[in-house]
Amino acid sequence: MTTQEAAAELDRNDPLAAARKWFLVPPGTVYLDGNSLGALSAGVPERIRRVVAEQWGEHLIGGWSEDGWWDAPLRVGDRIGRLLGAAPGQTVAGDSTSVQLFNSLVAAARLRPGRDVLLMDAAGFPTDRYLAASVARLLGLELREAPMPEFADALADCGERLAVATASAVDFRTGELWDLAGLTEATHRAGGVVVWDVSHAVGAVPLAVDRDGIDFAVGCGYKFLSGGPGAPAFGYAARRHHDHLDQPLTGWNGHADPFAMTPDYRPAEGIGRYRIGTPAVLSLLALDAALDVFDGIDLRRLRAKSLSLSRFFIACVDEHLAGRGFELVTPREDERRGSQLTLGHPEAGRLMAAMIERGFTGDVRPPDLLRFGLNGLYLSHAEILATVHALRSLT
Ligand SMILES: *Cc1c(COP(=O)(O)O)cnc(C)c1O
């Protein structure tokens, strides 16, 4: 049933309905692009104003200690770590996903000297693919790629040669969620180290990096974490690797004694060595403020809401968009969906432009995919129904 009454009933029973007011979504906008740039958390503007006026303005350089700027990458890292299912002391926030990925891929490969294959996800996000290719060239590895449905077989095919496998937890085009635990185990069985990009999962899909034995994970701060445009990314490295971590980006923030200003690099103990250079403090503290939203949130409940939205979306597509040229690209099985819905349509570009004009913000991925990010913190079932009605009116 996909009537307005059905949507209203689902929304009445939504335990996360109150979270909507924690975000400043402009009136008249149905925001379906939170998988690309999360909406602004209500607490962020005031926090940033205070950081600028009171911390920077009044404490000046003293802010590094007085206001905890120096420790912020590890403190914010631990807050993200909780969303990853990581115990404290294994996650650092900073730089971009691209930088974190480069750093992790090289560090991962250096854990497997003598092995020479880097296996990557054939449908990976462009920057991930470009970086994997560059790392392979830099380290003299053979780059192989495999579609995700064949990834486990491809891992086994590498035999003794597999050094590193890297893939995205959720396909950025289709919204398909992969089996992180199973593929991590398959990587280990083949003797390799895994680097997961969880950009489209963190803050929407409960993860269990420690429990699943994941070696490395990287991801974005500006998607479901809503940290703001270009928000710092993060890198997780499992504790068992810390003593052997040989990261390529040996910046002074990762030094054991950075203020000794010694001529030679000596890495800090623990995850501290995963720091690179001076953090972008304003952005980092905007992300920190945005993460407050997650403090009171049970991620399993958020996941249930997201699945309820996507299930309802699929039912609406089936009932209201049949025969109008749409193809459901995202899997129908709950456990195979991340937190977005993707529809194929030959006129995707025209449709999305018209949708945006009507206040429904999603996006398009070439050549023909319409993407709708489903953030359970600020979207309702009524908005999903309205979205589908708008799509129907345009076709
Ligand atoms: C969004 C996204 C990125 C973006 O990387 P940046 O360095 O922030 O530009 C990288 N990888 C994946 C899988 C993404 O979804």
What digits encode the pLDDT tens for the residues 140-185?
A: 999 999 999 999 999 999 989 999 999 999 999 999 999 999 999 9
Instruction: Note the pLDDT tens digit of each residue in 255-276.
Output: 999 999 999 999 999 999 999 9
Within this chain, do residues 278 and 331 fall inside the same structural domain, yes or no?
Answer: no
Residue 220 alpha carbon, nearest atom of ligand 1: 8
Per residue in 5-48, pLDDT tens?
999 999 999 999 999 999 999 999 999 999 999 999 999 999 99
Domain boundary among 242, 274, 294: 294
Answer whether residue 21 is part of any domain. Answer: no
- Active-site residues, by number, are 125, 197, 222-223, 371
Q: How many other C-beta atoms lie within 10 A of the C-beta of residue 26?
A: 10
Report the sign of the C-alpha dihedral through residues 11, 207, 297, 201, in that order.
negative
User: Residue 160's domain spans which residues?
Assistant: 47-294
Rg (CA), the chain: 22
Q: Please give the Cα distance from 293 to 320 (Å, whole number).
A: 34
Handedness of CA 245, 248, 251, 255 (dihedral sign): positive
Nearest CA to ligand 1 atom 2: 199
Assign 3-state DSSP to the chain and report helix, strand, coil percentages, each to 5.
45, 15, 40
pLDDT at 353 over 90: yes
The pLDDT value recorded for residue 296 is: 86
Distance 270 CA to ligand 1 centre (A): 26
Q: Ligand 1 center to residue 197 CA distance, Å?
A: 8
Residues with CB under 6 A from ligand 1: 96-98, 125, 127-128, 168, 172, 197, 199-200, 220, 233
How many structural domains does the chain have? 2
Check pLDDT > 90 for residue 333: yes
- Is residue 214 located within the same domain as residue 95? yes
CATH number of the domain to which 266 belongs: 3.40.640.10
CATH code where residue 331 lies: 3.90.1150.10
Q: From the alpha carbon of 200, which atom of ligand 1 is closest? A: 15
